[in-house]
Amino acid sequence: MTLKLLLALFVLTLVGVGFYHTYKPLPPGISHSGDALPLSDAALLVDATLHHNDGSETRDHEIFDEILRLISQARSFVLVDMFLFSSGPEDLEHRHLSEQLTEALINRKAEQPGLEIVVISDPLNTLYGGSVSPWFQALRQSGISVTETNLQPLRDSNPAWSAIWRLCCQWFGNDSEGGWLPNALGSQPVTIRSYLALPNFKANHRKILVADEGEKLRALVTSANPHDGSSRHSNIAISFTGPAVADVLKSEQAVLTMSGQSNPMLDRLISEANTRQTTGQHAAGMIAVKTESAILDSALQMIAEAQSGSGLDLAFFYLSHREIVTALLDAHERGANVRVLLDANNEAFGHQKSGIPNRQVALELHKAGIPVRWCNTFGEQCHSKLLILRQLDSQAQLLLGSANFTRRNLDDLNLETDVWISVPSDSAVATKAVGFFEQQWQSGPGGDPVMSLPYEHWADDSMLRYWRYRFMEATGLSTF
C-alpha cells in the first residue's frame, strides 16, 4: 500500500510539474508586440544558392557581408543575438561564418576600446555547458560580454520529458570536464547531462544585430545563423533605422534580465532611442517588432486580411502550426491566391530526414488546391521564414525573421524575433521580397538555374506519417 501511495504521489508530482511549466507566466518582456512605427532607411537582404544544369552553383549571399560591415564601422555599441554560433562540419565548401563574426567583433573592439559589445546566444553552442565554445572563449578573453541564455524560465515545449528532467536532472548542472560521449557540435567529449538537456527542445532562436551607424542605431533581423554548416542556406533579412530599433533593444533587454544579466548602456540607449532615431528621418512605411506568440498573432492577422484577388506567398523552412494551416485553407476558400514554397526536409548537415513536417502539411494544402513547390537543395536548406501579403490597394505586408511557423516557434516556447512591415508594393523592400520569392517559384526544371521543384517531386501520401506529424506537433515530441 505504501509503495502504491508513493508511486501515486510521484505521478501526481510529475503531472503537476509538467502542467505548471507548460502554462506558467512568461518572464517579463517576453512575447513582445511592438506598435507600428515609422520605417526608415530599410534594406532587404537575401541569401540564395543557385544550382545550375552543369552541376555548378552560384551563391548570391548578402546578409553576413552586411553584418560584418556594420560591425566594422561601429563606434559605441554592438549587440548580437544569434542562435547557432559554431563551426559545424569541417568542409571547405562552407564559409567560416563563426570565425569571421568572432574576428570582426574582436578586431573592432581592439580598434575602438570604448566600444560596448554584447553577445547573446543559445546554450546549444556548448551543448548546455558540457563543452567549451572556442568562439565564446576568444570573445570573453577580448573583454566582450557573452551571455548564454538561461532557458529554464521559459515554458516547456516537451513536457513529457521536461517534467522528468526538472525533477531528476537539472539540479546536477553541467561542466566541460569529464565528458566521455561524442559531441554532435564539436570534437570535445561531453557528459550525459548534455544529452539529458537536449530533449527539452527549447531555444533562444533569435537572430539579430544592433549597431550604431553614425548618429543612428541600425537593427538587422534575419533568419540566418553564424554557423559554418548553414552558410549555403537561403535566408532573408531586413535592416532598418528608426524608433522600432528601441523595441528590438527592449526585447533583448528582457533576455538579459531573464538570464540574470544587465547592461547599463543598453538601458540608456533604450531611454534615448525614440528621440535619437526620429530626427531627420523619412518614413518609407511602417514596421513593428514582434517576438514569440506576437508573431503568430501578426501572421494570422495578415492571412485573415487576404481576400479574393489578394496574393499570399510563403517561403519557409518549417510549416506545421495548425492555426496557420487552417488559416491558409480558409484564405484559399475566400479566393486569395495562396502559394507555398517549402524546404523538403530531406537533409540536414549530411543526415537524411523523414520529410516531416513539411511534406505532410504540403499534402493537406495540395489536396485543397493550394499550389506548393519545393526548394531545389543539394545539402543546404531553404531556411527563409517569409510571409508576403499583396493587396489590391497597392500595399504590401511582410513578416520575416527567425520564426518558423511551428508550435515551438510561435506558442511562447522558443525565443524568436520577427518584424511586420507595411510598404507600398512598388517600394524597394517589397519589390526585392517579391523578387526573391518569384525567382525561386518560377525557376523550375527546364530552366537554368533550377531553384524549385514541382509538388510531385517530394510528395508523400502516407497517412501514417501524416498522423505522426500531427501527434508530434500536438505533444511537443519533436524538434520542430
pTM of this structure: 0.95
pLDDT bracket for residue 2 (50, 70, 90): confident
Structurally, how many domains does the chain consist of?
2
Lowest-confidence region among 53-57, 145-149, 258-262? 53-57
Per-residue model confidence (pLDDT) at position 279 = 44
Judge if 373 and 229 occupy the same domain. no
Pair 400, 307 in one domain: yes
CATH of the domain at 84: 3.30.870.10
Per-residue pLDDT of 191-208, as tens digits, reads 899 999 999 999 999 999
Among 35-39, 252-256, 269-273, 379-383, name the one with the lowest average pLDDT.
Answer: 269-273
Question: pLDDT class for 282, splitting at 50, 70, 90?
Answer: low
Of 227, 262, 283, the residue that ends a domain is 283
Tell me, yes or no, whether 24 lies in a domain. no
Kindly state whether residue 3 falls inside one of the protein's structural domains: no
Q: Is the pLDDT of residue 5 over 90?
A: no
pLDDT tens across 73-83, in order? Answer: 999 999 999 99
Residues 314 and 181 placed together within one structural domain of the fold: no
Mean pLDDT over residues 158-185, rounded?
Answer: 85
Q: Domain range holding 217?
A: 37-283
Same domain for 279 and 317, yes or no, is: no
309 and 368 in a single domain? The answer is yes
- The pLDDT score that the predictor gives to residue 274 is 57
Domain boundary among 283, 305, 320: 283
Among residues 283, 307, 334, the one where a domain terminates is 283
Q: Same domain, yes or no, for 302 and 226?
A: no
Burial of 439 (0-12, 13-18, 19+ CB in 10 A): middle
User: Are residues 163 and 243 located together in one domain of the fold?
Assistant: yes
Convert the pLDDT of each residue in 94-141 to its tens digit. Answer: 899 999 999 999 999 999 999 999 999 999 999 999 999 999 999 999
